[in-house]
Amino acid sequence: MKRLYVFAFFIPMLFQSQTFSEVSSNIKNFYYGSSDIGDFNNDGKPDVVYNGAIDNDADGNADITFNEIYSNNNGVFSAYGNLGIDVTHLGDIKFIDYNNDGLLDIVSTGLSYNNVVNYKHYRFLNNGTGFAKVEDTAGKIYGSIEVFDLNHDGKQDYAINGTQYVDGTGFVYDLSLYQNTVTGFQLNQLWLPGTQNGSFKVLDLNNDNLLDVVVFGYDENTNPVFKTYLNSNNGLQLSQTLLPLASGKMAYADFNGDGFLDLVAIGQDDNYDEYLGVFINDGTGQFAETEIPNEGLSASSVDVGDLNNDGYYDFIVIGDDANNDGVVNVFLYNTTSSSFTKASNTSLYNLGGTGNVRLFDYDGNNHLDVLMTGFDWADQDLNSFTKLYQNTSTAANLKPTAPANLNLTKTGNTFNFTWSGATDDKTPVNALQYEIKVGTTPGAQDVAKYVVTTPSWFLILDPSIQDVYWSVRSIDASKVYSEPSVEHTLSVDGFSSKTQLSIYPNPASEKIFIKGETASIVEMYSMDGKKLNVQLNSDQSITVSDLPKGMYILKIKIKDNWVNKKLMIK
């Protein structure tokens, strides 16, 4: 078997130790693998689904496309079931509960072999006893899938990036949106300019609760690009052009704990030089890039999480270095220097491209473990392996506390959710993420259930929904969930405002003004629940010039009711 090539901060010279111990995974050795983590059977333990190919006859060559689901039985994985013979590799796979029944379904894309080469896209419905294929359409290869709720209706949408062959047109590189319509999905084939051999993420870059997009890879002219698109009332608009990049992946996290999502990206630049860099968000969705020199990898993958249990996000990378050797490295965030240090003596085996790596706590001890797949270039047969490593850190990591201050207001069909009061023993409050669950009856999640990165969200629901039951769980940087908050309802927490109460400007730096109603009392809280000393001026304004940059909750009393608004100080 020949080696395959798919077309396509300054770091201190110090090392921190971070060790792992290999354990048996019972997961097949995948070639060209991609994977996702989720609890598909609702037993509270993270399960795995893999997209890829396997060497079925042990001759050293991948010869069959194979996708399989593995259930986690108290830290031991077993094959739950494969997804059929006509499945995909050189693509991606994701868990998604697209019908809000509480059971994780699956979407996949990639190259499928079944007598003839096909670019395929599938959806599989979890019926509680297995997965049934319910969608089989044209798909994309050399790309990826992301799941999100773009229009805030509580139903999970998804998008697929990559290259696709269209009869009469040839290869196209569009980023395609699949909008959840409850009864199916509406396809927007030309949602954004797409790429192959790259990565994209859908995330809230400026904490306005509108989802933005970051994408890199080879464009339709086979030139590497790296672009951000900010969402507004006018839709997604190109915001920033970053260092051209392809043949890699990116991930996001709030590395410095300032409340805004940053990026880490790895791959090759426009000179085909290996690259690794961190992109720090200034709070408006604009990034400042810092390269970590001589640590880039091609055909690479990256994931983020707190690996040494100090409360701050770290990251792990896998791929091929400039000598085409496989490399796996861990980079730990240094809070003193606000930079990353490469960990030494990790005991992780050096696998290479096309590599895939995932961080998750498979054994439930609140420490992030490593699951990775890639080629072993040191093996004379060039085999691909899947390896699972247990994090051997002894550092204590407690569950975060759940938010204690849940508030909900409703204007028309828009439900505005805010919360505060969550804490963690290690992770800064601003860096916590949250799982919000919303239902039409107590304990239900038939309206929405997904993870958001800000302590607020909004849903635009059908007019027939007048009240909801909701709760929130906080998530620390080690991906440990709190217990659910006390469930709240609209009738307890807020009132339906018939006016267009607003605060402006937002973001603000000097003063904010209240418009639409006369406030009698105002209160302001930081995101950790601390009440701040602010005064309501006679002109219905509040002076905020002495407050640090960040997100705040403003409580406004209108007659006998309280209204909650999210405010950003810049």
pLDDT at 498 over 50: no
Measured between alpha carbons, how far is 93 from 80 in angstroms, rounded to an integer? Answer: 16
Portion of the chain with pLDDT greater than 70, in percent: 94
Could you tell me which residue, 455 or 523, shows the higher pLDDT? 455
Tens-place pLDDT, residues 121-166? 999 999 999 999 999 999 999 999 999 999 999 999 999 999 998 8
- The DSSP element (H or E) to which 490 belongs, if any, is helix 490-493
pLDDT confidence of residue 293: 96
Please provide the average confidence, as pLDDT, over all residues in the chain.
Answer: 91
| The two three-digit tokens of residue 202, written as one number | 């859908």
For residue 492, what are the contacts with CB-CB under 8 A and spacing of at least 6? none
pLDDT tier, 18 (very low <50, low <70, confident <90, very high otherwise): confident
Tens-place pLDDT, residues 512-564? 998 888 888 888 888 767 788 898 998 999 999 989 888 888 888 877 667 77
Mean pLDDT of 452-461: 97
Mean pLDDT of 114-118: 68
Query: Is 187 buried (19+), middle (13-18) or exposed (0-12) by CB count in 10 A?
Result: middle
Mean pLDDT of 77-97: 95
Sign of CA dihedral 35, 39, 41, 47: positive
Measured between alpha carbons, how far is 57 from 377 in angstroms, rounded to an integer? Answer: 20
Q: What is the pTM of this model?
A: 0.87
Tens-place pLDDT, residues 404-425? 999 999 988 999 999 999 999 9
φ, ψ for residue 207 (rounded to 5)? 60, 35
Cα maximum dimension of the chain: 81
Measured between alpha carbons, how far is 387 from 277 in angstroms, rounded to an integer? Answer: 26
550-558 and 521-526: which strand pairing? Answer: antiparallel
Tokens 């569950």 -> residue: 399
Measured between alpha carbons, how far is 265 from 279 in angstroms, rounded to an integer? Answer: 8
Measured between alpha carbons, how far is 497 from 452 in angstroms, rounded to an integer? Answer: 25
Q: Are 345 and 19 in contact (CB under 8 A)?
A: yes
**Number of Cβ within a 10 Å radius of residue 412:** 12
SS3 139: coil
pLDDT at 6 over 60: no
On the CB side of 555, how many CA atoms lie within 13 Å of its CA? 24
Mean pLDDT of 252-281: 98
16-17 and 339-344: which strand pairing? Answer: parallel
Tens-place pLDDT, residues 159-186? 999 999 888 888 999 999 999 999 999 9
Tokens 């019908």 -> residue: 99
pLDDT tier, 384 (very low <50, low <70, confident <90, very high otherwise): very high
Measured between alpha carbons, how far is 185 from 180 in angstroms, rounded to an integer? Answer: 5
Mean pLDDT lowest among 13-17, 428-432, 478-482: 13-17
φ, ψ for residue 492 (rounded to 5)? -90, -35
Q: Are 317 and 302 in contact (CB under 8 A)?
A: yes
Measured between alpha carbons, how far is 522 from 558 in angstroms, rounded to an integer? Answer: 9
Mean pLDDT lowest among 56-60, 73-77, 220-224, 312-316: 56-60
| The two three-digit tokens of residue 60, written as one number | 């050293």
Q: Which of 387, 270, 382 is nearest to 328 (CA)?
A: 387
| The two three-digit tokens of residue 380, written as one number | 């004379």
